[in-house]
Amino acid sequence: MMIAEDNLTEILQALDRQIRHLGGGDIRLVVCGGSALAALGLIGRTTKDDDILASVEDSGSGPIVVPLRGLPVWLVAAARRVARDFNLPADWLNLGPARQVHFKLYAAVDQNGYHTQDLLALNPTRSELRQAALWTLTQDVSTEFHDSLRDLLRNNDYEDIAEELS
């Protein structure tokens, strides 16, 4: 099954029930992509997943958006049950947009400027940056791009990753 405007509410309600059943806590998620557009009634197409950008937490001065490095164990378990019940892909609820670092690294190498600042603001782990670097090399195989990528990594204290790409 795919996620569409007409079944999104049912899927998310099932997720909420599973979270409660598993004793999980309250969680507010920021989502993007097809499921977010379907929830707003802006598109009629289906999607295979629900892409999570971050969570929203209360602070003394109002809600704040908090980046996620991983999903709580109880949320992963609840999502697996929903995947089973609705015949969805196992990773239908995912941090796919966290891979945004891949695109930002590519843009930083290709265009530099504010993209490099954005990339660093994402505060990627070394592992994430290594994965992003390997991915970007599949997008532009030119020697110039490869050299620019290594230079960007070296100039931002990622010499070890730059050397791995040699």
Q: How many alpha carbons lie under 13 Å from residue 58 in its C-beta half-sphere?
A: 3
Does pTM top 0.85 for this prediction? Answer: no
Say how far apart CA 153 and CA 120 lie, in whole Å.
Answer: 11
- Per-residue pLDDT reduced to its tens digit, 77-130: 999 999 999 999 999 999 876 566 887 898 899 887 788 888 887 788 898 899
Give the residue among 109, 155, 97 at the shortest CA–CA distance from 133: 109
Task: Give the integer Cα–Cα distance in Å for 163 and 160.
Answer: 5
Q: What percent of the chain has pLDDT over 90?
A: 48
Give the tens place of pLDDT for each residue, 7-62. Answer: 899 999 999 999 999 999 999 998 887 788 888 887 777 888 888 988 999 988 88
Q: E strand or H helix at 163, and its extent?
A: helix 159-164
